[in-house]
Structure 1
Amino acid sequence: MRFRSLFTTIVLLFALFSLKAQNDYFFAEGTRFDPKIPSPEKYLGYPIGTLHTRHDAIVGYMRELARISDRAKLDTIGETYEHRQLVVLTITSPENHRNLESIRKEHLKLTDPTQSVGDYTDMKSVVLLGYNVHGNEPSSSEAAMLTAYYYVAGQSAEVRAALKDAVLMVDPTFNPDGRDRHSTWANSYLGDPMVSDPIDVEHNEAWPRGRTNHYWYDLNRDWLPLAHVESQSRIDFYHKWYPNVVTDFHEMGTNSTYFFEPTKPFGSENPVVPRDNYDGLNNLFAGYFHEALDEIGSLYFTKEQYDNSYPGYGSTYPDIHGALGLVFEQASSRGHVQDSPTGKVAFAFTIKNHVTSSLATVRASVGEREVLLKHMENYFDSALEEGAKNPVKGWVFGDPADDGRNQAFIDLLLRHKIKTVALNDDIELDGKTYKAGNAFYVPNAQKQYRMVRTMFEKVTDFHDSIFYDASSWTAALTYNMPYAEWKGKQDLSGKELTRNDLKGTYARVPKTNYAYLIEWNEYYAPKALNYLLEKGVYVNYGSKPFSIETNEGVKEYGYGTLMIPVSRQEMDADLVHAYVEEATEIAGIRAQSVKTGFSTSGVDLGSGSFTTVRKPKAIMLIGGNTNSAEAGEVWHLFDSKVGMPITKVDMDNAGRINWSDYNTLILVSGSYNSLGESTLDRIKLWVREGGTLITIKGATSWAIGAKWVNEKYAPRSERETPERMDYVTSRDFYGAQSIGGSMYMTDIDITHPIGFGYTSRELPVYRNHSTLIQPSSSPTNTVVKYTENPLLSGYVNKANLKDIGGTASLIATGIGRGNVVMFVDNPNFRGMWYGTNRLLFNAVFFGNY
């Protein structure tokens, strides 16, 4: 502690920091550097740790290293929503740079079970040093610059050996948009003298804070869903190289110390990852980390908390690809210096620990090079062998009524390099017919077998009952994808797909002077509808099925079908046709034209069962104590899937809203009592006058608790609590009582406007909360209801499962001329729940049913 206090004092006296003092602080004393290579502080004009460095300056420094040194090369792999560059600095010896492509191709042989490497003598360790996925955990991007400097300018024999035997890839900022949001905050409130009081504004960011990306998503959960451009670019780069080691540097609470792997044994580990990853590689590398941190006197802990099970982290995704993923957590200064029970935590000190672990990672990756290379080759060889031995040969899937959702799911599989085949023939499994054209097959006998398991397997048996994050991530369920096991003797045949095959079903529709029809069961139909409404086209939706003669022959149409009558429009038939063409092309779906309103069965097109769609004018309250992640999910959903703007208003400005300008209000989890009585009364009146109020998860609880609706909480069964238990076990006991991220089967009323577009009454939903709502007393208001034994995948204790069965997941109720649509569960979780997104689309477009 005396060592730490000494350097904390030095850090606080930034004005006295010389370049040599900085180098001696962050690196071992006497480390030699090439004077022609600028240090970060020389390039930036201030010592590292005195300010939070903007992302553009970080990129500028990396670009300068690549310009000056033949050890470095900078690649731009993408950009964020706010157009900040995503870059990777590749550092290796000049000779390796000259042969980089051949090194990459040779390295990829490790991932190909059809090729045997055997001799690893001349192969390189490939190390991806990744930093700052959470924008307000900023020390790691500063450490990235220092690490890059160390290997580009370093003159020691250790550095030269590392550059000879390894290819180092420094990704300095996984989340540039969030980082700059936080950096601006921290720098804006930096005092002189600095304020270390934890309650100071510098240490307490305003909503939505800098942790998340532009759409307020946690990108450290996005390696599996790939909902965002940052993750999509990063995963493309990942699969170009398949690194042997991937780091993921984080920060945690100020009052903690430092964490490195291994994580909690068994309970926090992914069941598809071979044991040698956890028992072998993790423990092997831990020796390097503790020696390095011991050397500088830093306190740390291991084998506690944190998670290696959810496959969508930057530290777990590599484990399912034959690599070693490593998470590091540093107690945060959340600003430049902050008080803690063990003394002041300075920004420079947090950076120092991450630099130390970065260098130790490279040291271990070079020292254990052949172990890593052999592990990767064995990993993919064993994956293919295990997949071939599985009595389940593969998985058949496909929704016959929703090509858009099929293609979105296939796109996810292909981005993860999972072999996927379009079937040549129809096949019937488990009483369902999968028709060629919308039937696909994923074989288990492939090198990505363990990722295949991740996408399709349902898991309900667990080593532990306490989960840091989700306990289920079965992607096929999140897409509401019909699928079944194939246990035939041979793999099914068909065309192996590429992403170039994913082009939607759009085809030109003949002009008509009568009407056009669009099926609402297509996932992207809301995008077409929104486009038409924006262009001033009148669109009706049908509340009953029918069949009719179209340009494609007699077709059957289900609930929610869109009908565009030509003669009713305030524009000529040519323009209506042009808009329908444009709308369906943008959405990648088909429309049909009809010359008559007389149906072959069911209602005619002039029936009262058709209702005019009200153009949504949507508003969402944000800020305050609302859930920024849920708000971001709503915002991103309508931006990216519909192209529809949603007005976002901070809670502090709610009193200024002219409610007559809007017809739809979305409330995400949070408490809204702070709006004040007059504003709340105005919203109630607005609903009664015809507004649609949509509440999600915690906002539904708030609405019920505030007596806005007459719905009631469901009773909970009695829990047996031991008369006495040891204090040390109490956390595990009570933790097992929570409902922490699992998947359940519900029954959906597909005849209700909020259920339009679904063709099956079975609908998987995601639950990560303990709120239980009774079905509505009105028999038609419970749109989505849990089945009696609903668990599909994930952990839940028996008492909770019994309580969940039969409760409501979505209730829609009328108040005056308006409606309140109450989501008990989040339909947009992590941008991955394509299966339940449609419920929110329906609530927005048809919520005034």
Structure 2
Amino acid sequence: MRLSLLLCFSLFLSILKAQNIKTPSEFLGYDLGSQFSRHHEVVAYYEYLAETAPNRVKLVRYGKTNERRPLILAYVSSKENISNLDDIQTEHLKSINNKGTNDKAIVWLSYNVHGNESVSTEASMKTIYSLLTEKQAYLENTVVIIDPCINPDGRDRYVNWYNQNKNTPNQVDPNSVEHHEGWLSGRSNHYMFDLNRDWAWLTQIESQQRLKQFNKWMPHVHVDFHEQGVNNPYYFAPAAEPYHEVITDFQRQFQETIGKNHAKYFDANGWFYFTKEVFDLLYPSYGDTYPMYNGAIGMTYEQGGSGRAGLGIITNNGDTLTLKDRIDHHFTTGLSTVEVASNNSVKLNQEFKKFYQNKNYKYKSYVLKGDTDKLDALTKLLDQHEITYGFTKNSTVKGYNYTNGTFGSMSTDQNTLVVSTDQPKGTMVKVLFEPNAKLSDSLTYDITAWSLPYAYGLDAIATTSLVNTQNSTLNTETKLFEPNSYAYVTDWNSLRDAKFLASLLQKKVKVRKATTPFTINNQSFERGSLIITRSDNENVKNFEQTLIATAKETDKILHPVSTGFVDKGKDFGSSYVDMIKAPRVAVLSGEPTRTLQFGEIWHFFEQQLNYPITILESSYAKRVDLDTYDVLILPDGNYGRFLDEETLKDLKEWVRSGGNLIAMSGAIDQLASKGGFGIKKKKNESEEKEKPLAHKDLQRESMKKAITGAIFKTKVDNSHPLAFGYTDTYFTLKLGAKAFDYLKTGNAVYLENNTTPVSGFAGSTAQKQLGNTLVFGAEKMGRGQVIYLVDNPLFRGFWENGKLFFANALFMVD
């Protein structure tokens, strides 16, 4: 009896102490949902909680954004669990190897990956407060990890814009300016990348820093909180088909379990919702799929609202959707998720262990061979994912040949990379490397192909047996440097080579390029190889020291030569060995360009190539003297209004005077519809008249004309400067059925009649339309060139083998 009284008294004190914690509204000084909280205010509330309840909240700063905002994680659990957090983490990770004694559920809640889907960060504060007060019982056997804002830069961009443009009080009329965010929306991060599509590719610093923390925990459950259109009801699990085939029966079933628990609360409140539609589980770089492929129950929750909703908006059915409504919905699913996990902690631990055992995938090893720069780039990505790999020996392997799409063989050597599924991250290996993901449904939310051997431009064999490895490091040439050499030569076939060149040009070092192959000192060099001569750089102070330092910075190997007299090919003084100009580059931004595509270019220059670029905003770009620049880039977009008759005339004159215009996707559409450019849209090949279709069949029938991110094998004319550094084959990622006829000349990369994708989905009509069409090409116009990039070689920053095409457009095409 006395013990019972003590327990009751202890519980009373605990509740009393919990009640002393300020609510978000009390701390912030305004009712939660009546204003948007800026990121620093959110961080301050989490810091307050960690100070007020240090035995139940542990706060970690895991990084910074490009704009120097902190990235934080809050660990929330019982007093006992927080005091033993390291032990819980250790025991949990042991379960990957079928060991450990962890019995706690690990739940990770990620908020605000899209900055203008702003409700979730607000909901996170209400959620953590509830877990520390009335719902603290959930935490007895559960550790909840909360990332209140994955994308602080995007969130603050939206919040600041909204605060500047909203009415006082806020206006619910959808026509008011506060419901019409501009071109530079808060959805993306600083470089306008979509962080929800970057989990696997890790191009952005937010993703890179977050994954380090994710790998330290490997949670049982991960939720990514989102928003969708204003008029949509709430979406939660279970997801839509297609599910990737690696997703286990338990993962499917537990999504159903969680969804039914959510439905119970939504039904009680009369809230509308839907499941099993739109949001599938295939593309591996989402916040639901990536955790799924690492053993978690990964889920996306979608609330109606986004940047359109503001503090309140009238929907199509005449209701008013408020920020407070949106908070309540995300708050409810967040708590419901923790509740289900807590009630099923034993089962979650058991099934998590099972996920990592006895994988019996068809392909056991993926064997990759090619340029060491590309292999090195791939291994760096694998390191970030903590995927193990090795290098094999001189031998021969047999299996599925990625280049030919058939059974074949490949000779191996000490620099042949082997990545096997026989490891803890084996499921992730299968998903990232498999030749072609199995589709249970062609209606998908994103691209259907991403296989890394194609993305990195490597020869590959997938084997049905394990291939042994000898070592874990790539063997590279010894870096040579002989002072006072006549010249230094290096190859040109990767982004690393382009970074080396970009750095030299900014240091005023003169560099030549070989436009034909040559041999010197019994070593062969292909087109595009770089030649740096002493005589060209007599006026460069500390020339050799600068060259050595730059080679070290970019990990480049230089081959010293004592003469410009070659064994085969053209001598260094030949007209076939051209000086490379350091181009002055500008890119158009703002409407009419697409935000994400502009961001890919911006990030490529500043974070990958490390070369200066001028951003010309469309509102004043037409007043800029283009003669200031050598290269102008028009990203994908809708250029109908922007490229009027006068603007096109000015562009043509600039090109004829020596400018290089790089037009991408949507920009090409407009050039093709206007006179004076050689690019032409391919005419639709007439088909038999289609029979009337039932309304229910329209969506699926439209898929015949669609390409949902599929990979195609193309032909390459590598004698063209736009294709220097490539072989005669390139695997391109097509995002749609856009098709243009061959140019009269300058077809650097193109499709012939075989238009069956090697990976991914392409509709039958779309495939027919792609026959004999251009992928990349250049049209001579006066003293300049128009470079057409029909497909996007910089897509999401992960299509590594496409980036050299963009570098060629800058440095090799003249």
For this structure pair, what is the TM-score category when the shorter chain's length is used for normalisation?
over 0.9
**Residue 453 (structure 1) aligns with:** 430
Distance change >3 Å, CA 816–CA 33, structure 1 → 2: farther
Residues 510-659 of structure 1 mapped to structure 2, 5 A cutoff? 510-549=482-521, 554-571=522-539, 575-659=542-626
Which of 256, 262, 286 is the matching residue for 1:283?
256
Q: Verify the 8 A CA contact 1:783 1:812 in the aligned structure 2.
A: no
Q: Is the 8 A contact 1:518 1:591 kept in 2?
A: yes
> For residues 6-155 of structure 1, what are the structure 2 equivalents within 5 Å?
34-69=18-53, 70-112=55-97, 115-116=98-99, 123-152=103-132, 154=133
Paired with 1:410 and 1:286, the residues of 2 have a C-alpha distance of 38
Assess, with a 3 A threshold, how the Cα gap between structure 1 residues 619 and 179 changes in structure 2: closer, same or farther: same
Contact 2:592 2:637 in 1 (8 A): yes
**Equivalent-residue separation in structure 2 for 1:750 and 1:143 (angstroms):** 54
Equivalent residue letter for 1:301: F
Q: Which ranges of structure 1 fall in alignment gaps of 5 or more residues?
A: 1-30
SS at match of 2:611: coil
In the other structure, the counterpart of 2:11 is: none
> In the alignment, which residue of structure 1 is the partner of 2:335?
359
Deviation at 1:736, TM superposition (A): 4.1
- When the two structures are superposed, what TM-score results if normalisation uses the length of structure 2? 0.93
The superposition leaves residues 790-816 of structure 1 with CA deviations (integer Å, 9 ceiling, x where unpaired) of 411001123322332332111211011
User: What do the CA deviations read for 1:292-328 (whole angstroms, capped 9, x no partner)?
Assistant: 2223331111111112111111011111111101111
Measured after TM superposition, the shift of residue 375 of structure 1 is 1.6
Select the residue among 264, 271, 286 that pairs with 2:245: 271
Offset at 1:331?
0.8
Residue 792 of structure 1: SS of its match in structure 2? coil
Report the AA paired with residue 577 of structure 1. Answer: E
Report the more deviating stretch, 440-449 or 170-179. 440-449
Alignment check: 8 A CA contact 2:643 2:670 kept: no
Note the C-alpha offset of 1:427: 4.2
Deviation, structure 1 residue 541 = 0.4
Q: Provide the C-alpha distance between the structure 2 equivalents of 1:323 and 1:721, rounded to a whole number of angstroms.
A: 48
Contact 1:748 1:785 (8 Å CA) reproduced: no
Report if aligned partners of 2:33, 2:324 keep a CA contact under 8 Å in 1.
yes
Equivalent AA in structure 1 for residue 251 of structure 2: N
Q: Deviations over 1:670-721 (max 9, x none)?
A: 2333254433322211100000000111111221112341222223333456
Q: CA deviation at 1:594?
A: 1.2
Letter in 1 for 2:632: L
Deviations for 1:214-270, whole angstroms, at most 9, x for unmatched residues? Answer: 111111111111111111111111111010000111111111111111122xx3312
Q: Is the 8 A contact 1:466 1:736 kept in 2?
A: no
- Which aligned pairs between 1:309-708 and structure 2 lie closer than 5 A? 309-332=282-305, 334-342=309-317, 343-383=319-359, 386-387=360-361, 390=362, 392-399=363-370, 402-425=371-394, 427=396, 436-459=413-436, 462-487=439-464, 491-496=467-472, 507=479, 509-549=481-521, 554-571=522-539, 575-672=542-639, 673-708=641-676
1:433 Cα offset (Å): 5.5
How much does 1:51 deviate?
1.4
Name the counterpart of 1:254. 230
What does residue 302 of structure 1 align with?
Answer: 275
In the alignment, is the contact (CA less than 8 A) between 2:284 and 2:432 conserved in 1? no
Cα distance in 1 between the residues matched to 2:341 and 2:649? 63
CA displacement at 1:731 relative to structure 2: 2.0
Instruction: Indicate conservation of the 8 Å contact 1:140/1:354, yes or no.
Output: yes
**What secondary structure is seen at the aligned counterpart in 1 of 2:19?**
coil
Instruction: Please say if residues 592 and 642 of structure 2, whose CA atoms lie closer than 8 Å, have aligned partners that are also in contact.
Output: no
Alignment partner, residue 6 of structure 1: none
Relative to the length of structure 1, the TM-score reads 0.89
Find the partner of 1:771 among 738, 750, 762.
Answer: 738
Deviation of 1:334 (Å):
2.5
Residue 822 of structure 1 deviates from its aligned partner by: 0.2
Unmatched 5+ residue regions in structure 2? 1-14, 402-407
Sequence identity percentage: 31
Q: Displacement of 1:396 after TM fit? A: 0.8
Q: Distance in 2 between matches of 1:519 and 1:426?
A: 27
Quick one: which amino acid aligns to residue 597 of structure 2? Answer: E
Structure 2 Cα separation of the partners of residues 247 and 327 of structure 1:
6
Q: CA deviation at 1:36?
A: 2.5
- 1:579-635 CA-to-partner distances (Å, cap 9, x unmatched) read 211221221211121111111222221221101111111111111131111111111
Q: Please, which of 694, 712, 718 is the counterpart of residue 744 of structure 1?
A: 712
Give the ranges of 4+ consecutive aligned residues of structure 1 lying more than 6 Å apart after TM superposition.
none
| Range 654-663 or range 420-429, more displaced | 420-429
Deviation of 1:523 after TM superposition, in Å, equals 2.6
Aligned-partner Cα distance in 1 for 2:411–2:159: 52
Change (3 A) 1:362 1:719: farther
Is 1:776–1:782's contact at 8 Å kept on the other side of the alignment?
no
Per-residue CA deviation, residues 703-748 of structure 1 (Å, 9 max, x unaligned), is: 1112341222223333456533321222222234311211111111
Aligned 8 A contact 1:131 1:173 in 2:
yes
Tell me if structure 2 keeps the 8 A contact 1:775–1:782. Answer: no
Partner of 2:151: 175
Are the counterparts in 2 of residues 654 and 675 from structure 1 also a CA contact under 8 Å? no
Q: Which residue of 2 aligns with 1:823?
A: 789
Contact 1:745 1:786 in 2 (8 A): no
- Asked if 2 retains the 8 angstrom alpha-carbon contact of 1:506 and 1:585, the reply is no
Contact map agreement 1:784 1:810 (CA 8 A) in 2: yes
Instruction: Tell me, in whole angstroms, the C-alpha distance in 2 between the residues paired with 1:363 and 1:763.
Output: 50
Shift of 1:39: 1.5
Show the counterpart of 2:4: none
Amino acid of the structure 2 residue aligned with 1:834: E
Give the drift of 1:91: 0.5
Q: Measure, in 1, the Cα distance between the counterparts of 2:94 and 2:687.
A: 55
Match of 2:559, as an amino acid? Answer: Q
Contact 2:723 2:748 in 1 (8 A): no
- Call closer, same or farther: CA 1:104–1:408 in 2, change over 3 Å: same
Tell me the distance in 2 between the aligned counterparts of 1:794 and 1:761.
Answer: 22
Provide the C-alpha distance between the structure 1 equivalents of 2:602 and 2:477, rounded to a whole number of angstroms: 26
Partner residue in 2 for 1:8:
none
Note if contact 2:35-2:311 (Cα within 8 Å) is conserved in structure 1: yes
Render the CA deviation track for 1:384-432: whole Å, top value 9, x for unaligned: xx14xx3x43111021xx3222111112222222221122435465677
> How far 1:841 sits from its partner (Å)?
0.6
Structure 1: distance between partners of 2:131 and 2:444? 38
Q: Is 1:215 aligned to 2:191, yes or no?
A: yes
- Tell me, yes or no, if the aligned pair for 1:259 and 1:302 is still in contact at 8 Å: yes
